[in-house]
Structure 1
Amino acid sequence: MNLSKMSCDDINLQAIRDSDLTKQATEVVYTAVGFGVLAFQKIQVMRQEMATARKAHTNTAQ
């Protein structure tokens, strides 16, 4: 699919209602926030795993 050849003249903006745009924008924001939460949780898990590994390595080194 080559989007550079797509004509914007084919899009009928009058057919799109404001409420539909608001709903879609809200869904986009919720999705972005959801991905942000998942990324933050993944970072927290990685941090905990690194702390556990460091503690285990420190205990075996002594």
Structure 2
Amino acid sequence: MCEDQYGFHLFCKIFWTFWHHLSFFFLFGLSFEEYITHSQNSEYISFTFCLLRRSVLFLCT
């Protein structure tokens, strides 16, 4: 049980680091917001990203 939790936390930490770098890359590399605004499903995409980010924050704390 504890090993599974540790494994999950490790996965979560790796995923969170990846997500942080990904958002950092989008912020300075690509203009991700510009991509969202020009997309037809802009509301759906932004909602999905928001939901994903909130769920990861909830799971990793």
Shorter-chain TM-score range: 0.3 to 0.5
Q: TM-score, normalised by structure 2?
A: 0.47
Higher-Rg structure is 1
The answer to which structure, 1 or 2, has the higher relative contact order (CA under 8 A, 6+ apart) is 2
Normalised by the size of structure 1, how large is the TM-score?
A: 0.46
